[in-house]
Structure 1
Amino acid sequence: MVEQIRQRLAERLAPVELDVLDEGHKHAGHANAGKGHFHVRIVSPAFAGMPPIKRHRMVYAALEGLMDRGIHALSIDAKAP
């Protein structure tokens, strides 16, 4: 799943920096543990001049379909260069 997330974001948002971390281990004992907890840190020129909420929406749009097939929780750190 990490590679799928990375590929989608790279194709759609052309980041200059991109880190995708599987944080499932942090949710041991959680009702949905092991079902796709991820953190994305992305820096893209596509985010220039946009407020954080719009940046997050762009990330979610790029991951459309994956949110229903393996991503349970996603934390996002999205910035412009």
Structure 2
Amino acid sequence: MSVQDSIRDKLTQAFAPTALEIADDSHRHAGHGGARPEGETHFRVEIVSAAFAGRSRVERQRMVYGVLAAELADRVHALQLRTLAPGEPA
């Protein structure tokens, strides 16, 4: 399973998002620290979930980091997050 698929599966199971976009931006970081030739090291995630309602941006990000702890400890060097609750402006 690819890292992107693993991220998608874990976020879907944990947050039941109404919207989820995951982009592999590794190609933009070639030659930078943490980049690997095979890619899948730098991701951009936008997720909309009711689980984020009433929580601060930092709390939301910590929730996501907790779910993706294994990926962040091993393969993923950078994760750009946009976490929203339903109805919040994008």
What's the TM-score once normalised by structure 2's chain length?
0.85
* 1:64 shift after superposition: 1.9
- Give unmatched runs, 5+ long, in structure 2: none
- Hey, which bits of structure 1, 4+ residues long, moved more than 4 A? none
Q: Could you tell me how far apart the structure 2 residues matched to 1:76 and 1:16 are?
A: 16
Q: Could you tell me how far apart the structure 2 residues matched to 1:64 and 1:27 are?
A: 21
Aligned residues: 81
* 1:37 shift after superposition: 0.4
Deviations 1:41-71 (A, max 9, x none): 0000000011100000010011121111211
- Give unmatched runs, 5+ long, in structure 1: none
* Paired position in structure 2 for 1:30: 32
* Paired position in structure 2 for 1:55: 60
Considering only CA atoms, is the larger Rg found in Structure 1 or Structure 2? 2
The within-5 A match list for 1:36-75 is 36-75=41-80
